[in-house]
Structure 1
C-alpha cells in the first residue's frame, strides 16, 4: 500500500512538473462496466469547476478503474497527432531540429507538449494541416485537458521528458487549414520513392499559399519536408526547391475585402483561382524543362460566386449554402442545398437565376466551391424551410429567432411575404372584430384562425372548418377576416389546386391556418381525398431511387368556403364527418352593403398585428393556461352524449372556444362565448353528417322509394336491388356493395350494432344477413327493421290497382 501511494504521488508530481499549474481531474475510464474508449475519456461532473484531486483521492479512483486527466495550464500547449506513423515522423523531426519538448505515447499516436506564452493565439481545433503536412489536434493554454498516463491507461505512457527549458511551439506546427473539409486530399509523406515528389510538394505549397500562410513559414515548411520526409534525394537536389517556391510565391492571394470585388463574408479566393476585372479566373500551371513551372490565367466565369453562409436545417440533417454574386451591378443571393455545389446537373440549374454556369465551366466551378469551403471559415448559421412549430420553438416570419426562415420555392415565399403588419391590435379589434363578433358563424370562423397555433401543444389532430352558404353571402369576406389575423389577404388560396399543392402548403404553414376559398373551383373527385390528406397531418409517402422521401407533417386548421358542404362531396365516407366542422349558414345576417365596404376598408389598414401579439402572449403564458383547456374539452364531450363522431368534433369546438378565452385573457377582447356553445347545439342537431350511417340508410331507402321497379314484389325485375316480404324491405348484398362502396362492411356493421337491420346467428357469430325464399326462389338478403322504416316515414307496401 505504501509503495502504491508513493507511485501515485510520483504520477501527480510528474504531471505538475510537465504541466506546471495543471489540475488533476477525474475521468470515467473503464469503471462501472464501461468498455467504450470514447466514454472513458469523459470527465465526471463539471471538470472546470472541480477541485484539484489529492493523491489519496487519485489512488481510490485508480483502484476503481477510473482514469485521471490533467488540465492544460497557462504557458503550455499540447499538440496531438492521431496517426502513429505521422506522429513518429514529427518526433524524429523535432529531435533532429533540436526542439525541446515533452512527448507522450498514446494508443493511436503521440502527444507533444510545448511552451506557449507568445502570440498568435491558437484555437482548439481538430484534424488541421500544419505547414509540414502533418495533421494535428490542438489543446491551447487554459483550454481542455489530456488523459494522463497511469496503470489503467494501457498503451499510454510518458515517452520523453526534456531536461531543458521547453521551446515555444514552432510556427510550422500552427494549424493552417481544416483537413476534415479536404478529406479527398492526401499529402503522401514520407516520400519513400522518387515518384511525383516535385508535383506533390508544389501542390501542398500552393495550398499553404491559398490559406495566406506567411511566406517564411511556407519556405520553412517546404525545406523541413525536404530534409526529413523525402528519403531518396538522388535526382531531387535542394536547388530544385527555389524555382518551385518562386512559382508558388508569385501566386496572388485574392482578399474578399478588395473594393473592386465587393465580396462579403469570405477571407480568401482559393488558389489557383483569382479575381480579374470582377470575373473569376484560374491559374493553370504546367512543368517545363529545367525544373520551372509555366502559368497562365484562364477565365472560368464572368461572375465571382461567393459562399456567403453555411446554414444547417434545424429540423433535419441537411446543409444549405447561401451563394451571392454580382450580376450587372445587382447583388444576387440564392439558397441552395449543399449537393448543388457538388453536382453538375444541379449546378447548371442556377443558370435560370442568372448565374454564369454552363456545360463548359461547371466542373471548374465545382472544384472552386470545394476549395473555397476547404480554405475559408464560412459563417455558420441555422435555418428552417417552413414556419410554425419547429421542435420546441415556433417560427413566425416577423419574430426574431436564432435561425432564418428560408422557403424552398416561390409559392412558399409568397406565403411568407403575406405575413405583414399594418395598424395596431386596438384598431383591428375596433374596426374589424367588433363588427363581426355578434355573428356566431363568422366569430367561430375567425377564432379558428387563432386556434390553429394551439393544436400542437394541445395534441389535437388537424381539422377543417367549412363555411357554406349560397352565393354572395359574405363567405369570402369571412375568410379574409380570418386571414387578417396573421397578415394580408394573400394568405387566402384558391381551391383550384392539386393534391400535392395542398400537401406542401399545409406542411409549410405547419401550425398556421390554411385558408382555401370556394370549393366549387376544385375538382370534385379530389375533394374527398383533400379532406383525408389534410386531416391526416402527413404527406403521401413517395419513393426515391434509393429509398423513400421524407414525409412532411403539419398540425393546423384548414378554413374553407363553398356553396356546398365538403361533407356532401364525401357523402359515403363516414370518417369525413369527424374531420369537418360544417357551418352551413350565412356568416353575416341582416347587414347591408355598407357593412362590407367598411370591413374591406378596415382590412386594408389593419392586419397581422393581433395574431403576432396573441402568439407572443401565448408563448409566454401557455404553461399557465393550457390546463384550463381540459375543462372546456370535458364540457363539449359531455354535450356529445356518446356520439362517436360528435365526440371527435367536440375536441375541435373546445379548441376554438379555448382560443376565444385566451383572446379575452391576453388582449382584453370582449365577446360572447356562449354563442359558440349554442352554435354547437344547433350544428349537432342540424348536421345529419354527424350520424353518417343513419344518413346513408335514409339516402338508400329514398332512392329505392323513387325506383320501385327494382324491388321484387310478385314479379322479378330486371335488376333486383331489394325484396319486399313480410311487410318489410330486404336488401340484396350486391346492391349494398354498389351503393356503399369501400365502406360497405363498416356501415353494415354499424347498422347491425344499432338495430337498423335484423340480425341472426351463423356458427355462433352474429350476422346481418339470412337466406330466405321469395316467390319460389332463394335469396341472401339484409332485412331492414320495420321500426326504422316507420321512423323515417317510408312504406314500401305495394298498392295493387283493380
Structure 2
C-alpha cells in the first residue's frame, strides 16, 4: 500500500512539481455521471493539499484526485482523440519536450510555462490554435486536471519527457473563439477533398486575427507535414501560395467573391487595457466608436457609429443549463456602466435595442453595425470565462449564498432580482444578533416560530419537503410586520422583504430566484384577492405555471423554500373553499409580539445594525452536519403525525411543522440559542383548536349547517320548498346531493369520502363497499339523501327541530 501511495505522489511531483492535490467526486457513493465525477469536493481553492494517506484512502473509495497546475507549468487539452494523436506526432517529430496524458476524450500536453508569452495565453476553453485545432488550457494556479489513478478508466500518463520541458510552441497559441466560429479544418486529409479551400480559409483567418505572415506560413506547413497524409496534387509549395493569396486579400480588405470590403475582417486597429478593437472600428475622443473606411478613390472616411464604445469584459456559463451570458461595459461621463445580458442580446436587433433603456447609445440606425462590432470583438479578444448561476440556494450539488460563494458569479438580470441580491448584506455578528434581536422576541412563541421558519427554509430541500407557507395574521398594530423584518434579518436587510401587491408572475420569479431562501411578503390587504389562492397552490407546487411561446413552451421556474406571509386576514380565509390550501399553510393567528412599545423600538434599532450574519452561521453548521442531523428530523415528524390523530390536513402540516421545530433544536443544540421548544410544540395544538380551516372537511360541514340554519325555508319539513337543500324527518337531517354538489364544487367527492371515513355522515354497506347515501320516503316521494351524524350536529351547536305553533303557545 505504501508503494502505491508513493507512486502517485512521486509521479505528480515529476509531472507537476509543487502542485496542490485535491479531492474530486469520482465514482464515490454510487455516482455514475462522468461530468460530476470531475467536480471537486467542496471549495478546493482554500483547502489543504492531500497527503499520501489521504490520497490512498480517497482512491480506495472510488474517488478521483485533481492536481492544480503549479507555477512554471502550462497545459494544453485537446478533446478529440484523432486530432490529439496527430498533435502528439507533430510534437515528437519536432522534438518539443513535453509530458502527455491520455484522457477518455483526447490528450493533455504539459509544457513549461515561465515565458511571458506563455503566461499571457491564460486559461480558456475551445479556442482554435494556429494549426486550426480546437483546444482548452489550464493556466498556473487557475485550473486543475483529473490526475490518472487506478480509478480513472481510460486516463493514464502516456509519455514523460526525460529532459527539461519546452515552452508552449507558438503554433499552439490561441487565435479565435472556436465556440463562436469553428475551425475550417477537417484533419487528417487522407483524400483530395477540401484541402485547398480549407487551408486558404485557415490562412485568411490567421492573418485576419493578427498572426504574422511568417508564423502563419510556418504553422500551416507543419499542419501540411503531419496532418495531410494524402499529398497527391497538393505539393508543399501550395501552402505558400495559399498564404500569399490570403495575405493579399486581407491586406486589400476585400472579399474574393464580391470584390467588396468584407464586413467580417477583423484587423487589429486599436488596443486599450488589453481590449482589442477590430478593424474597421476605432475608438475616438470621449470613448466614442467610429468606423474608418476608404472610398473608391482611396480617401479615408470616418463615420460615427455610437456615442459610447462597448466592451465585452466577461463571459459567463450557466451552471444549471446551457446558456452563455456576457458582461458589457461602457463609459458614462464619470462612471462605468456594467450590464450582464444573455448572448442573444448582442446578436438580435430587437434585444440589443432594449439596452437603450440602460443608457447605451444604440438605435435603429446603428444597431446592425454594433452587432457586427460585437461579433468581431469576440473573435479577436480573449474574454475571461466564469461559471455563473441565475439564482440562489441549492444549485445541483452546491449551495449558493452571495456572501460566501466565491467561485461562481451570481447573476441578477432584472431590477427585482438585483434588489433581492443586494438584500443579502451582513452587519454585526451572529452573537450580536442573538443578544440584541432574538433576545427581545424569545418569550413570544409565535414570533419565534416565524423566525425559525426563516432558518428552516434553507433545509427543506434536504428534508425532501415541498414548499409551504407560514402565515402570520391578526388585526393591525400587533407586530406582524416587525416580526417579518426580524425573520428577514436572519439573511439580510429590509430589501429582502416584498409586498403582496404583486402579480403572480413576479411572485413566481422572486420565489425561483431565492430558490432556497425564504420569500417574505407583507400585508395581504394589498393583494388582489383573486390572486391569493392561486399563489398558494402555485407556490406550494414549487414550479411556475407552464406558458407557451411562439417557439413552443417557455422555461418553467422551480423553487424549494418557505413563504413567510403577514396580513390582517388569514390566507386560509381567502382560500376557504379550496380544501387543499389548508394543507399548505401553517397559520399563526393574533399578536406575535406583546404590546411593549419600548421593546419594539429597541428591536427595530437592533435590526438596523444586526442582520445576515446569523444565517451564514446556521448555514455553515447545517452544511457541515446535515448527514448526521437529517435522521433526527424523522423523529420530530413522527411526533407531530401522532399529534395529528389521523386528521388528513394536520398529517400534511406535521411534516412542515416538524421541519421548523427541528430547526429550532439545531439552533439550540449546535448554536446555543435560548429557545423554549415546548412552547413551539404547544403551538401545534393551538393551530388544531383555534383554526378549523386546518380540518377542512369539518369546516365544510359547519359551513353547510350554518347555511341551512340561516335558510330554514330551504329544508323540507312538511311542505316542499322552492329551493330544496335538505330534508328533516324524525330528528334526522338529510342532505340533498345536488345541494352538496353546488356548495362544494370540485371538492365534493373528496369531502364526502372524508366525511364517511370519519363518521360525519352515516353510511351503509352496498355490495363490498360503504356508501354515504340511501333512499328516503318523505311525503309520498322517494329521495336519495345523505344522512348526517346528529351527534356531530349537536356538538357543533345546531338544532334543526321545527317548533310548531302549539308548542310556541305552550
CA distance 1:379–1:772, shift in 2 (3 Å): same
Q: Which runs of 5+ in 1 are unaligned?
A: 1-20, 22-37, 40-73, 102-110, 145-167
Q: Which residue of 2 aligns with 1:609?
A: 613
1:367 correspondence with 2:375: no
Q: Map residues 463-612 of structure 1 onto 2, 5 A cutoff.
A: 463-589=468-594, 591-612=595-616
Q: Which residue of 2 aligns with 1:403?
A: 408
Distance in 2, Cα, partners of 1:516 & 1:644: 28
Distance in 2, Cα, partners of 1:779 & 1:403: 69
CA distance 1:412–1:78, shift in 2 (3 Å): closer
User: Shift in Å at residue 137 of structure 1?
Assistant: 6.7
Q: Which residue of 1 aligns with 2:419?
A: 414
Which shifted more, 369-378 or 172-181?
172-181
1:704 correspondence with 2:713: no
> Secondary structure of 2:437's match?
helix
User: Shift in Å at residue 566 of structure 1?
Assistant: 1.3
Query: In the alignment, is the contact (CA less than 8 A) between 2:112 and 2:168 conserved in 1?
Result: no
Distance in 2, Cα, partners of 1:600 & 1:772: 65
Q: Which runs of 5+ in 2 are unaligned?
A: 1-14, 16-33, 36-72, 97-106, 139-143, 146-165, 225-230, 255-264
> Secondary structure of 1:303's match?
coil
Query: In the alignment, is the contact (CA less than 8 A) between 1:210 and 1:268 conserved in 2?
Result: no
1:635 correspondence with 2:639: yes
1:438 correspondence with 2:430: no
Q: Which residue of 2 aligns with 1:326?
A: 331
1:454 correspondence with 2:459: yes
Distance in 2, Cα, partners of 1:372 & 1:757: 76
CA distance 1:406–1:565, shift in 2 (3 Å): same
Q: Which residue of 2 aligns with 1:426?
A: 431
* Deviation digits for residues 411-465 of structure 1 (CA, Å, limit 9, x no counterpart): 1111111222222333322222112111111111111111111212111221111
Q: Map residues 330-409 of structure 1 onto 2, 5 A cutoff.
A: 330-409=335-414
User: Shift in Å at residue 746 of structure 1?
Assistant: 0.6
User: Shift in Å at residue 206 of structure 1?
Assistant: 6.3
Which shifted more, 531-540 or 624-633?
624-633
Query: In the alignment, is the contact (CA less than 8 A) between 2:420 and 2:495 conserved in 1?
Result: yes
CA distance 1:281–1:579, shift in 2 (3 Å): same
* The one of 217, 221, 225 aligned to 2:215: 217
* Deviation digits for residues 107-165 of structure 1 (CA, Å, limit 9, x no counterpart): xxxx9x9x99998759899986666x85577999xx99xxxxxxxxxxxxxxxxxxxxx
> Secondary structure of 2:770's match?
strand
Distance in 1, Cα, partners of 2:485 & 2:77: 65
CA distance 1:495–1:80, shift in 2 (3 Å): closer
User: Shift in Å at residue 211 of structure 1?
Assistant: 2.9
Distance in 1, Cα, partners of 2:658 & 2:114: 68
Query: In the alignment, is the contact (CA less than 8 A) between 2:127 and 2:179 conserved in 1?
Result: no
Q: Which residue of 2 aligns with 1:253?
A: 268
User: Shift in Å at residue 184 of structure 1?
Assistant: 6.8
1:754 correspondence with 2:752: no
* Deviation digits for residues 253-306 of structure 1 (CA, Å, limit 9, x no counterpart): 3454x3xxxx5xx54223333323333233446888xxxx88654433222211
User: Shift in Å at residue 83 of structure 1?
Assistant: 9.8
Matched pairs, number: 699
Distance in 2, Cα, partners of 1:126 & 1:442: 51
User: Shift in Å at residue 213 of structure 1?
Assistant: 1.8
Distance in 1, Cα, partners of 2:691 & 2:550: 47
Query: In the alignment, is the contact (CA less than 8 A) between 1:136 and 1:175 conserved in 2?
Result: no
Distance in 2, Cα, partners of 1:449 & 1:524: 25
CA distance 1:768–1:322, shift in 2 (3 Å): same
Q: Map residues 176-325 of structure 1 onto 2, 5 A cutoff.
A: 176-178=174-176, 180-183=178-181, 186=184, 207-214=205-212, 216-217=214-215, 247=252, 253-254=268-269, 256=271, 258=272, 263=273, 266-277=274-285, 278-284=287-293, 296-325=301-330
* Deviation digits for residues 330-379 of structure 1 (CA, Å, limit 9, x no counterpart): 21111000111111111111111111222222222222222222222211
User: Shift in Å at residue 730 of structure 1?
Assistant: 1.5
> Secondary structure of 1:394's match?
strand
Q: Map residues 95-106 of structure 1 onto 2, 5 A cutoff.
A: none
User: Shift in Å at residue 735 of structure 1?
Assistant: 1.0
Which shifted more, 333-342 or 511-520?
511-520
Query: In the alignment, is the contact (CA less than 8 A) between 1:172 and 1:220 conserved in 2?
Result: no
Distance in 1, Cα, partners of 2:300 & 2:537: 65
Q: Which residue of 1 aligns with 2:59?
A: none
Q: Which residue of 2 aligns with 1:25?
A: none
CA distance 1:495–1:188, shift in 2 (3 Å): closer
Distance in 2, Cα, partners of 1:752 & 1:219: 89
Higher Cα Rg, which structure: 1
* Deviation digits for residues 686-724 of structure 1 (CA, Å, limit 9, x no counterpart): 222222111211111121011101111111111111112
CA distance 1:220–1:299, shift in 2 (3 Å): farther
CA distance 1:608–1:241, shift in 2 (3 Å): closer
User: Shift in Å at residue 170 of structure 1?
Assistant: 13
Distance in 2, Cα, partners of 1:713 & 1:780: 16
Cα RMSD over matched residues?
A: 5.2
Distance in 2, Cα, partners of 1:79 & 1:558: 48
Query: In the alignment, is the contact (CA less than 8 A) between 2:313 and 2:328 conserved in 1?
Result: yes
Query: In the alignment, is the contact (CA less than 8 A) between 2:203 and 2:246 conserved in 1?
Result: no
> Secondary structure of 2:470's match?
strand
Distance in 2, Cα, partners of 1:619 & 1:183: 42
Distance in 1, Cα, partners of 2:216 & 2:759: 92
Query: In the alignment, is the contact (CA less than 8 A) between 2:728 and 2:734 conserved in 1?
Result: yes
Q: Which residue of 1 aligns with 2:794?
A: 790
CA distance 1:222–1:792, shift in 2 (3 Å): closer
Q: Which residue of 2 aligns with 1:728?
A: 732
* Deviation digits for residues 657-691 of structure 1 (CA, Å, limit 9, x no counterpart): 22222222333222221111222222222222222
Query: In the alignment, is the contact (CA less than 8 A) between 2:518 and 2:561 conserved in 1?
Result: yes
Distance in 2, Cα, partners of 1:409 & 1:652: 32
Distance in 1, Cα, partners of 2:288 & 2:384: 23
> Secondary structure of 2:559's match?
coil
Query: In the alignment, is the contact (CA less than 8 A) between 1:210 and 1:375 conserved in 2?
Result: no
User: Shift in Å at residue 544 of structure 1?
Assistant: 2.1
Q: Which residue of 1 aligns with 2:6?
A: none
Query: In the alignment, is the contact (CA less than 8 A) between 1:81 and 1:135 conserved in 2?
Result: no
Query: In the alignment, is the contact (CA less than 8 A) between 1:219 and 1:245 conserved in 2?
Result: no
User: Shift in Å at residue 207 of structure 1?
Assistant: 4.0
> Secondary structure of 1:372's match?
helix
**TM-score of the aligned structures, taking structure 1 as reference length:** 0.74
Query: In the alignment, is the contact (CA less than 8 A) between 1:730 and 1:784 conserved in 2?
Result: yes
Q: Which residue of 1 aligns with 2:5?
A: none
Distance in 2, Cα, partners of 1:501 & 1:414: 13
Q: Which residue of 2 aligns with 1:715?
A: 719
